[in-house]
Amino acid sequence: MALLLGHAAATVAALFCIIYFFHRRLSCRYPLLTDYPILGMLPEVLCNLWRIHDFATEVLKQKGGTGDFTGPWFTNMNYLFTSDPLNVRHVMSTSFHNYVKGPVFRDIFEAFGEGLAAADSEAWKYNRDLIHYLLKQKNFEGFLEKTVHKKVQSSLLPVLDHVHQQGSVVDLQDLFNRFTFDNICYIVLGHDPNCLSVDFPEVEIEKAFNEAGETIFHRHVVPKCVWKLQKWLHIGQEKKMTEACKTLDEFIYACIASKRKNLSKCIEKNETEETSDVDLLTTLMREGKEKGEEYDDIFLRDTVFNFFVAGRDAVTSALTWFFWLVATNPLVEAKILEEMKEKIGSNEKAMDVLSVEEVKKLVYLHGAICESLRLFPPIPFERKEALKSDLLPSGHGVNPSTVILFFLYSMGRSEEIWGEDCMEFKPERWISEKGGIVYVPSYKFVAFNTGPRTCLGKDVSFIQIKMVATAILHKYRLQVVEGYVAKPNLSIVLLIKDGLKVTIKKREM
């Protein structure tokens, strides 16, 4: 009897597996990779994880730009991958209200809290309107310019001078990480931690941001049950995430408490006059008090964290890849320098750190930055979840709760979008015959997102990148260490694995 029951159970199990196998085959109509029994398509991803961005680009090209990915059985790790700009426009603009970040996104990106990057619906609209208001304050651009100018003049250039005098190799990415961290701390919190100094101090909070980003990427390539178990056991990558979030929260909440205390003192003394040098957190807290809806610590913490990721990580990535490309393309470097000389002049003192109005004149530099962002977008992929069934322009059907991953890195390498020379670094593709900037629809050039979620800090980012780029290029020639090849890291922000090692040479005037 027991033997018969055992055979029956085995038969039922086998039948169930066969039915489930064929169900997956039917539901996965456009497979990107080989769908192995039980393991799904995950094995090929894990085997190519070290080059995942280029691997995804190759696969999407072979499959016409869009296809299905299915993870291990019963993990619900199923995605629709796409690099088709028409699909991007449909999801991010045309049918915007049918596609959300969703609860799964917020679970994976838990460090972002309920801030702008993770919010949906009314919460997203409220956060976006508030941040738009903060960035459009009449004094903000002047405050930004003054902050960047001071940090370049008092820290960045002296550190580069020191490195030059020592004749040593420097990790330019680490240097930019420190620069942007100091900048964003001052812009958001009114506090400069002085990470960028000649002794290169180790700053725990700065390291925590990097580890949080790496863990979020890790959560995209392993089943949820695995990383949830790691989190529960407090092991592996999730242990780093827990410790990083603790460090980040302690730092941000301490800053919020200090701001509340200072603001209360100002109110008691009737010191309410506005100045041009007011950080975003202070402005936000004042705005809350004036509206009679004082923001709680959690809301402020989430807003500050989102500011940090947008204002630090993205700018660091953009600067690092820009200098990698310029250092390995001397003709582009020569043209940037020629434009600076032609439109700004060659006065040594005047050229140290350019103003906002001066950098806006540099069209070729703008093209070079756009070209760098095309090839190496700071956020290499974007994800959305469908609320209702839909049909994409590519002809692919979407079911409710389907997660769509847009590969921005792959889009920058698409011949259909950019032509046969898409792998070349050509700032000229951004410049018209009349010498102006060529307009490219944001659903094709998605470095700053597209549609209603277009990045509010786009102009702020360009200002910082241009001010830093011109200050460095005017005084120094950067030479990449011989034999070094830049490779993308594995994180939600596209940085260079192991940094960008360069030597510094004084430019002959």
Q: Binding site for heme, residues?
A: 455
Contacts of 31 (CB under 8 A, 6+ apart): 41, 67, 68, 70
Choose among 97, 67, 83: nearest CA to 380: 83
Cβ atoms 149, 467 nearer than 8 A: yes
Residue ranges for the binding site? 455
Rounded Cα distance, 8 and 3, in Å? 9
Hey, CA dihedral for 218, 219, 224, 229, is it positive or negative?
positive
Q: d(Cα 60, Cα 381) in Å, to the nearest integer?
A: 13
- Looking up tokens 């940037």 gives 336
Count CB-CB contacts under 10 A for residue 263. 16
Tell me the three state secondary structure of residue 66.
strand
Based on DSSP, count helices (H) and strands (E) in the chain, helices before strands. 21, 10
| Beta-carbon contacts of residue 480 (< 8 Å; ≥ 6 apart) | 324, 327, 328, 500, 501, 502
DSSP state of 40: B
CA distances from 157 to 60, 116, 163, 243, 326 (A): 43, 34, 10, 34, 19
Rounded Cα–Cα distance for residues 194 and 200 (Å):
9
State the DSSP code for 437.
Answer: B
Nearest to 490 by CA among 52, 71, 69, 47: 52
CA distance 417 to 85: 8
Distance between CA atoms of residues 164 and 475, nearest Å: 11
Do 209 and 248 touch, CB atoms closer than 8 A? yes
502 forms beta bridges with: 170, 480
